[in-house]
Structure 1
Amino acid sequence: MATVPLPTRPRPATPETALPPSDTRRKAPTKHRRPGSGREQLSGWGMIAPAAVLLLAFIFIPAILGFGLAFTNARLISPRPVEFVGVDNFARLFSDPTFYRALLNVAYFTVVIVPVQSGLALVMALLINKKFRGVNFFRTMYFLPVVTSMVVVSLLWLFMYRKDGLINEILSAVSFGLIDGPDWLGDPNTAMPAIIILSIWQAAGFHMIIWLAGLQGISGELYEASQLDGTSRWQQFRYVTWPGLFHTRSLVLVTITIQALGLFDQISVMTQGGPMDSTTTIIYEAVQSGYRQQETSYASAISLVFFVLVLIVSAVQRHLTREKD
Structure 2
Amino acid sequence: MSTTTAPEQVAEDVLPRQHRRGGTRTARTHETLIGAAMASPAVILLIVFFLVPVLLAFGLAFTNARLISPRPPHFVGADNFIRLFGDSLFWASLRNTAYFAVVVVPVQAGLALVLALLANAKVRGTNFFRTVYFAPVVTSMVVISLLWRFIYQPDGLLNKIIEAVSFGQWHGTDWLNNPSTAMPAIMFMSIWQAVGFHMIIWLAGLQTISRDLYEAAALDGASTWKTFTHITWPGLRATRTFILITITIAALSLFTQISVMTQGGPLDSTTTVVFMAVRSGYEQQSTSYAAAVSLVFFVLVLAVSGVQRFLTREQD
With normalisation by structure 2, the TM-score equals: 0.94
Structure 1 residue 131 displacement after superposition: 2.5
* Separation of aligned partners in 1, 2:37 and 2:229: 49
SS at match of 2:175: coil
Q: CA offsets, 1:172-206, max 9 Å, x none? A: 01111001101100100000000100000000001
SS at match of 2:172: coil
Structure 1 residue 58 displacement after superposition: 1.6
The 5 Å alignment of 1:300-319 reads: 300-319=291-310
Partner residue, 1:61: 52
Partner residue, 1:197: 188
Structure 1 residue 36 displacement after superposition: 6.9
The 5 Å alignment of 1:1-325 reads: 13=1, 18-25=3-10, 27-28=13-14, 29-30=17-18, 31-33=21-23, 41-325=32-316
Partner residue, 1:3: none
Counterpart of 1:269 in structure 2: which amino acid?
V
Counterpart of 1:33 in structure 2: which amino acid?
G
Structure 1 residue 268 displacement after superposition: 0.3
* Separation of aligned partners in 1, 2:229 and 2:39: 44
Q: CA offsets, 1:265-302, max 9 Å, x none? A: 00000000000010000000000000111111000000
* Separation of aligned partners in 1, 2:84 and 2:169: 46
Q: CA offsets, 1:142-162, max 9 Å, x none? A: 000000011000000000000
Segments of structure 2 that go 5 or more residues without pairing to the other structure are: none
Q: Tell me which protein shows more helix as a share of its residues.
A: 2
SS at match of 1:33: helix
Partner residue, 1:10: none
Instruction: Report the aligned-residue RMSD.
Output: 1.6
For the pair shown, the structure with the greater C-alpha radius of gyration is 1
* Separation of aligned partners in 1, 2:229 and 2:174: 42
SS at match of 1:218: coil
Structure 1 residue 320 displacement after superposition: 1.5
Q: CA offsets, 1:21-52, max 9 Å, x none? A: 43254743211426776665544433333332
Instruction: Give the total of aligned pairs.
Output: 310
SS at match of 2:173: coil
* Separation of aligned partners in 2, 1:144 and 1:183: 27
* Separation of aligned partners in 2, 1:249 and 1:241: 11
Counterpart of 1:20 in structure 2: which amino acid?
T
SS at match of 1:185: helix
* Separation of aligned partners in 1, 2:36 and 2:94: 43
* Separation of aligned partners in 2, 1:320 and 1:54: 31
SS at match of 1:304: helix
- Percent identity, aligned pairs only? 62
